[in-house]
Amino acid sequence: MKLIILDRDGVINQDSAQFIKSPDEWKPIPGSLEAISRLAESGYRVIVATNQSGVGRGLFDMDTLNAINDKMMKAVAAVGGRIDAIFFCPHAADSTCDCRKPKPGMFRQIAERFNVDLAGLPTVGDSMRDLQAGIAVGCTPYLVLTGKGAKTAVDPDLPVGTKVFPDLAAVANHLLTLKA
């Protein structure tokens, strides 16, 4: 199965240090929606795995998170794409849960739900924790320079073998060229 795991904030949409707390604050990064569409059209199952500690911090509730994700799904569909599933961790940063990246719990849930070995599958993030969660289950890490990515790219602990691209559109171009 061709499957790709994407972080949300900073990869698909603009990120904010104050969190994305409403559908109005959700703004796609130019080219990201079309990239998802192209990946889906070429047979990828597109999965989003995102930390959403704003829920655990009380900054927004589950209905608001669902509305934000609904806006994202509709925006992707409007350009002919689809997101097959959204996995999220609603817990605050100080939680001991296993689902908050960099822990691999969300990725294990994805593997179980889709009955797939994640080894070698691409995961795309803009932060070290995104990459670490994917690496823990054998994914190939892709770093985008959008969101927090430019800062992450110069981290001396950037995992060896991380592929770095300007944005999600460039990752899609690369992956679709490999599959051609």
Helices (H) and strands (E) in the chain, counts: 7, 6
Nearest to 168 by CA among 38, 23, 19, 24: 38
Query: What distance in Å separates the CA atoms of residue 54 and residue 68, rounded to the nearest whole number?
Result: 12
Distance CA 33, CA 158 (A): 27
Q: Which residues in 22-129 belong to E strands, given as ranges?
A: 45-51, 85-89, 122-125
Q: Is 7 part of the annotated catalytic residue set? A: yes
Known catalytic residues are 7, 9
